Structure 1
């Protein structure tokens, strides 16, 4: 997978872009595990991506929810959203 960030919000610490091989749009944010930091990626459709480009509060609302809620609960060493 090759993630290409098309929009980066440094203040709120998230980015949006497209995965080059599949064409899937995404929103991502950093997570800290203590010993290692990584990014989590969440799939969004093209219409949502285009709306988020124009509506930062809507994008931030999704990122905030994603930071708090998970469909599959993490293992004990998953880390926490930054």
Structure 2
């Protein structure tokens, strides 16, 4: 998979982008476990991507739910046993 960020929101620590191979849109958040820092990628549709890109603050409730693991069904890559916590 090749994740290409289209928007990086440094203040609220999330990114929007497109996975280049499949064309799927995503929101990613940084996470960390005891061994590594990495990103989790949550799939969104094109309409949501366009909304969040034009109005990044509209993404904040979605990002908050991702950090609480409430939208795990949208994960593009499933986490391993040592899942990290949001940074």
TM-score for the superposition, normalised by structure 1: 0.88
Deviation at 1:34, TM superposition (A): 2.3
Task: Give 1:46's aligned residue.
Answer: 46
Counting matched residue pairs gives 81
* CA drift at 1:28: 0.1
Any gaps of 5 or more consecutive residues in structure 2? 74-78
Aligned to 1:12: 12
| C-alpha deviation, 1:75, in angstroms | 6.8
Within 1, Cα distance between the matches of 2:41 and 2:64?
Answer: 13
* CA-atom RMSD in angstroms: 1.8
Which segments of 5 or more consecutive residues in structure 1 lack a partner in the other structure?
A: none
1:59 aligns with 2:59: yes
